[in-house]
Amino acid sequence: MKFIFIFLIILELSLRRSSHSLILKTGVPTKDEIMQNLPTANIQCPYCWETIEVLVDCSVERQEYIEDCSVCCRPITIIVESSDGDVVNIESRTEDE
């Protein structure tokens, strides 16, 4: 009985290792790798007027999203325009502008 139990544990561990290495071999970037490759931009919070750094996804030509200020925690509407992987224009507005 102990032999079967130990065998099952070894089998499960080897399956975990092989599936993990299979994931690593696919070349799919992890979330941390993606975040490290995103360019940053400085914006000014329209509420507290502090300059904060935000990550910008330049794979989309024009996007608008809401991100909380890292200083005052109020919602900032961020509008980004990019071209060829570079930020062309970035604006920050209050939520009701």
* pTM score of the predicted model: 0.62
Task: Note the residue count of the chain.
Answer: 97
The answer, yes or no, to whether residue 48 has pLDDT greater than 90, is yes
Q: Mapping DSSP to helix (H, G, I), strand (E, B) and coil, where does residue 68 land?
A: strand
Determine the average pLDDT of the residues in 24-49. 75
Determine the average pLDDT of the residues in 82-97. 89
Residue 88 token pair? 């062309």
Which residues have a Cβ under 8 Å from the Cβ of 27 and sit 6 or more positions away? none
Residue 60 token pair? 């989309």
CB atoms within 10 A of CB 45: 19
| Terminal-residue alpha carbon distance, the chain | 70
The answer, yes or no, to whether residue 18 has pLDDT greater than 80, is no
- In angstroms, how far is CA 23 from the centroid of its own chain? 19
The answer, yes or no, to whether residue 32 has pLDDT greater than 80, is no
pLDDT tens profile 51-79:
999 988 888 899 999 999 999 999 999 99
- Kindly give the residue spans of alpha helices, DSSP state H, lying in 1-97: 2-25, 31-37
Residue 29 token pair? 């970037």
Q: Which pLDDT score is estimated for 21? A: 46
